[in-house]
Amino acid sequence: MSFLFSPFFLIPMVLVGWAQMRVRSAFKKYNQVPSMARLSGAETARRILSEQGIYDVAVEETGGSLSDHYDPSSKVVRLSSDNFHGHHLAGLAVAAHEVGHAIQHANGYLPLNLRHAILPVANLGSSLGFPMVIGGMLFGFTGLIDIGILFFAGAVIFQLVTLPVEFNASSRAMVILSQGYLAGDEVSSAKKVLNAAAMTYVAAAATAVMQLVHLLFMRGSDD
């Protein structure tokens, strides 16, 4: 299993670890900084939704840390407990970002719809792709290797499509927050939170691409 020590594995591991450390550091810093608007994440999300004329999206609390997300299938913005109840800059920024996804959905933003459509394929690819390739190599089934690579390619496409979705949501959030929700240095602070979060998606996409390239190299060497 020397491939586990390949740069195609080690570099992505370091990249993902760095991105996760950065986002946790940013959240730890800015969830200690109260927002001048004195709004909780839940209040921020509901107010923005109302201002945007979106009345069919709910805002709910969810467990876990940094588990915030928008569910387009049920039209729900889910905020982790700290961001749901907290009156800090981190919660404000995250809430606005997740509502940014709801705005994308309401406006028929193509990359969001595409990401949602390929999610089942991506889940299969991320869970089955690599095991199928390894199994195919161990037992000499070339067809299984090729199917595994195709499955994993679906997961890579999902990660790549995620990038414009996330960056666009953050851009929408910052425009909205700059119009009455944040003052002075709060704007740059909120941007730091969202930029740190965005790097986790960049790291995930880079990791997926490098792993796909590695699978293709493994496929070539197996011929």
Average pLDDT over residues 192-201: 93
Instruction: Indicate if the pLDDT at residue 212 is higher than 70.
Output: yes
Average pLDDT over residues 99-111: 97
Give the separation between CA 180 and CA 90, rounded to whole angstroms. Answer: 16
Instruction: Indicate if the pLDDT at residue 211 is higher than 90.
Output: no
The distance from CA 179 to its chain's CA centroid, rounded to whole angstroms, is 25
Instruction: Indicate if the pLDDT at residue 51 is higher than 60.
Output: yes
- List the catalytic residue out of 43, 98, 166, 186: 98
How many beta carbons lie within 10 A of that of residue 169, not counting itself? 24
Sorted by sequence, the CB contacts under 8 Å of residue 134 that are 6+ apart come out as 148
Sorted by sequence, the CB contacts under 8 Å of residue 83 that are 6+ apart come out as 31, 41, 68, 90, 91, 94, 95
pLDDT digits (tens, 9 = 90+) for 157-181: 999 999 999 999 999 999 999 998 9
Average pLDDT over residues 83-90: 94
- pLDDT for 223 equals 56
Global pTM reads 0.88
| Confidence band, pLDDT 50/70/90 cuts, at residue 18 | confident
Would residue 166 show up in a list of annotated catalytic residues for this protein?
no
- The DSSP H or E segment spanning 157 is helix 142-177
Average pLDDT over residues 46-73: 95
Instruction: Indicate if the pLDDT at residue 156 is higher than 80.
Output: yes
- pLDDT for 213 equals 87
Residue 69: φ, ψ to 5°: -165, 165
- pLDDT for 218 equals 74
Mean pLDDT of the chain, nearest integer? 90
Instruction: Indicate if the pLDDT at residue 38 is higher than 80.
Output: yes
- pLDDT for 130 equals 80
